């Protein structure tokens, strides 16, 4: 299903003084996989979110669950963020309010929905050939399970990659056709998560790359040399950890932050706290070169570098839970709106 984003509106927004930093000529042709909501769905979700917060807020002002265990208030701290990252932000929403897996043409603004994926499917990682895309979805509508699936662009087909238990909520393509996953065990009552890797060719059994209990958001280096992931800690602390191929050694802490994603040239892009908000950062896999990417004024999340490594797509939160999909140069200069109508989250470029 194709949704024609208003090209004139997109061009007008890009031409405004605040958003003209990245011209059309700099945008790669490869599509950005996104979790897409129409404008109507975004408004319904925002209204429902505010109503839930008002109805569920306890008299003493302490944190509370909203909807389901996977849709939590921001003040739940690292546990809330872990569950949101591991399961997706719309798990507690009605079917009609859930977004769709879609491909965004960064130049035209056109959105193509992947029809073979169920509502609520979240994009995770492109294969280097950009012909195959890993995504997470429930095996059936309204199922409480989440597993990894793969979409083939050339055949327009979907195949299942993982089977539970445990829940497999995130994944990336490792070396030798291996699949790296977030494995979430809910059998003990309190969710525990670790990073695991398949055998060559995606075959089982999976073996542990991390011990948990709150490890998530794996990202695989394009050359297969390493896997990075986020680990939730005490308080609001979150760190980026790295394990190097052939994955025999224990992982090591790389930098404070969350939402890591490998980029070309041995870099990772991620978000970290600066002041009172989350902002884009970059760091090399050896821990050097840590620096902010630009000077954003909003909370920034889920960065994903373009295939040529020159740009970073990311999500900027405005009035929660409303968000906007933007792109910025890797050197921190320029900003441009990528999606003029509706909402796009979890970009994968």
Q: Give the pLDDT band (50/70/90) at residue 68.
A: very low
* pLDDT of 235: 66
For residue 273, CA distances in Å to 145, 204, 237, 336, 348 come to 32, 37, 9, 22, 22
* pLDDT of 17: 36
Q: Which of 58-67, 228-237, 309-318 has the lowest mean pLDDT?
A: 58-67
Distance between CA 137 and CA 245 in Å, rounded? 28
Domain boundaries, the chain: 2-348
162, 179 Cβ separation under 8 angstroms? yes
Phi-psi region of 43 (alpha: psi -120 to 50; beta: other; left: phi over 0): alpha
Q: At residue 183, what are phi and psi to the nearest 5 degrees?
A: -110, 120
* pLDDT of 298: 84
pTM attached to this predicted model: 0.86
Q: Among 198, 193, 229, which residue's Cα sits nearest to residue 212?
A: 193
More confident residue, 144 or 161: 161
- HEC profile for 227-293? EEEEEECCCCCEEEEEEECCCCCCCEEEEECEEEEEEHHHEEEEEEEECCEEEEEEEECCCCCCEEC
Distance between CA 257 and CA 83 in Å, rounded? 16
Q: Give the pLDDT band (50/70/90) at residue 239.
A: very high
* pLDDT of 191: 81
* Mean pLDDT, residues 243-247 taken together: 96
CB neighbours of 246 closer than 8 A, spacing ≥ 6? none
Q: Report residue 202 as tokens.
A: 């995606």
Distance between CA 83 and CA 60 in Å, rounded? 24
Q: Among 50, 149, 141, which residue's Cα sits nearest to residue 96?
A: 141
Distance between CA 215 and CA 244 in Å, rounded? 16
For 42, half-sphere exposure in the C-beta direction (CA atoms, 13 angstrom radius) is 19
Q: Report residue 154 as tokens.
A: 């050339």
Q: Which of 35-49, 79-93, 179-193, 275-289 reaches the highest mean pLDDT?
A: 275-289
- HEC profile for 17-84? CCCCCCCHHHCCCCCEEEEEECHHHHHHHHHHHHHHHHHHCCCCCCCCEECEEEEECHHHHHHHHHHH
Q: Report how far apart the first and last C-alpha atoms of the chain are (Å, whole number).
A: 20
More confident residue, 75 or 347: 347
User: Under DSSP, is residue 111 helix (H, G, I), strand (E, B) or coil?
Assistant: strand
How do beta strands 277-284 and 291-292 pair?
Answer: antiparallel
Q: Which CATH superfamily is domain 2-348 in?
A: TolB, C-terminal domain (2.120.10.30)
* pLDDT of 79: 45
Residue 328, pLDDT > 90, answer yes
* pLDDT of 276: 83
More confident residue, 322 or 109: 109
Q: Among 2, 4, 7, which residue's Cα sits nearest to residue 337?
A: 7
For residue 121, CA distances in Å to 52, 127, 243, 327 come to 23, 17, 28, 22
More confident residue, 76 or 27: 27
* pLDDT of 53: 63
Q: Report residue 340 as tokens.
A: 């003029």
């Amino acid at each position: 299903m194709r949704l024609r984003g208003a090209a004139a509106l997109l061009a007008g927004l890009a031409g405004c003084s605040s958003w003209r930093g990245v011209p059309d000529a700099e945008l790669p042709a490869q599509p950005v996989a996104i979790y897409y909501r129409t404008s109507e769905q975004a408004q319904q979700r925002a209204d429902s979110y505010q109503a839930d917060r008002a109805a569920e807020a306890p008299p003493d002002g302490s944190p509370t669950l909203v909807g389901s265990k996977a849709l939590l208030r921001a003040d739940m701290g690292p546990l809330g963020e872990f569950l949101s990252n591991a399961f997706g932000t719309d798990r507690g929403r009605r079917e009609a309010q859930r977004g769709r897996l879609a491909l965004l043409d960064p130049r035209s603004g056109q959105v193509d929905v992947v029809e073979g994926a169920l509502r609520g499917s979240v994009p995770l990682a492109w294969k280097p050939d950009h012909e195959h895309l890993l995504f997470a979805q429930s095996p059936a509508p309204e199922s409480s399970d989440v597993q990894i699936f793969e979409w083939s662009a050339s055949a327009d087909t979907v195949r299942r990659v993982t089977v539970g238990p445990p829940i497999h909520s995130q994944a990336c393509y490792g070396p030798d056709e291996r699949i790296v996953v977030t494995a979430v065990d809910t059998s003990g009552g309190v969710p525990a998560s670790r990073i695991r890797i398949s055998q060559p060719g995606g075959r089982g059994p999976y073996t542990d790359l991390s011990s948990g209990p709150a490890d998530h958001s794996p990202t695989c280096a394009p050359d297969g040399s390493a896997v990075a992931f986020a680990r939730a800690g005490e308080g609001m602390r979150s760190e980026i950890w790295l394990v190097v191929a052939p994955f025999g050694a224990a992982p090591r802490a790389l930098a404070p932050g969350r939402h890591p994603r490998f980029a070309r040239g041995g870099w990772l892009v991620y978000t970290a706290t600066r002041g009172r908000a989350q902002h884009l950062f970059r760091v090399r896999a050896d821990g050097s070169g840590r620096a902010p990417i630009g000077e954003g004024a909003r909370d920034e999340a889920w960065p994903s570098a373009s295939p040529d490594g020159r740009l970073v797509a990311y999500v900027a939160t405005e009035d929660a839970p409303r968000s906007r999909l933007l792109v910025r140069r890797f050197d921190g200069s320029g900003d441009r709106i990528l999606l003029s109508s509706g909402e796009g989250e979890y970009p994968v470029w």
